[in-house]
Chains A and B, each alone.
Chain A
Amino acid sequence: DAKTTQPNSMESNEEEPVHLPCNHSTISGTDYIHWYRQLPSQGPEYVIHGLTSNVNNRMASLAIAEDRKSSTLILHRATLRDAAVYYCILYNFNKFYFGSGTKLNVKP
């Protein structure tokens, strides 16, 4: 099964952009790249997903490398409410395989 690799933790200042990287060197052509985040004591919530092209939504942007072996989740202006564990996930055929996640700390 394809795996993802993420840094254990990152820190950002409030109101600044945050770039959360993810490596998925064994990704297959049919794997979608999903990002979810999990706040303390809550279930994960959807952030964004993509296949090949960069994606934007109201929460974030997803930049996917041309060879698809890595991707970056971009939070344009981090707020204190964005402090969470961010998971980069490869989705294929009904199955989500969570990476280890990056714990994002946001400093006021």
Chain B
Amino acid sequence: DAMVIQNPRYQVTQFGKPVTLSCSQTLNHNVMYWYQQKSSQAPKLLFHYYDKDFNNEADTPDNFQSRRPNTSFCFLDIRSPGLGDAAMYLCATSSRTGDWTQYFGPGTRLLVL
């Protein structure tokens, strides 16, 4: 089945130690998104790629970076994780030629020690 895959499902890192979360998709969608979701809150859009064009939200901290080496993969890099970055990170995709429905992965839960 076509899907959005996120690895790992759980990630533990240390304060200040860089961490990378990965997302892959088999839907061949040209738009990929990264969201941050803290406990009991709604997902918050960090940035998205439209093909290779990177679009950053104005309030996304510089500590968060992203890479999209090809259509299928997208990475979220947190350069120096702080305790406040502990959250669920959700990847999603959508297609410009479709109805813009977003397909979400299961998320990666990040714990910062």
The size bracket of the interface on A is 20 to 34
Cβ contact within 8 Å between A46 and B102: yes
Residues of A in contact with B (beta carbons under 8 Å apart) = 32, 34, 36, 41-46, 49, 87, 91, 94-101
Q: Is B105 an interface residue (CB 8 A)?
A: yes
Q: Which residues of B contact A101 (CB under 8 A)?
A: 42
Given A49-B99, A99-B42, A43 contacting B48 (CB threshold 8 A): no
Task: Name B residues whose Cβ lies closer than 8 Å to a Cβ of A.
Answer: 4, 31, 33, 41-45, 48, 50, 55, 90, 92, 94, 99-107
A43 touches B92 (CB 8 A): yes
Query: Are the C-beta atoms of A97 and B103 separated by less than 8 Å?
Result: no
From A32, A44, A99, A100, give the contact of B90 (CB < 8 A).
Answer: A44
Main secondary structure of the interface of B (DSSP, over half): strand
Task: Tell me which of A32, A44, A91, A99 contacts B104 (CB under 8 A).
Answer: A44
Contacts A43-B104, A49-B99, A49-B101: A98 and B48 contacting too (C-beta < 8 A)? no
* Contact status A87-B42, CB under 8 Å: yes
Closest chain B CB from A39 CB (angstroms): 11
Name which residue of chain B comes closest to A44, CB basis: B104
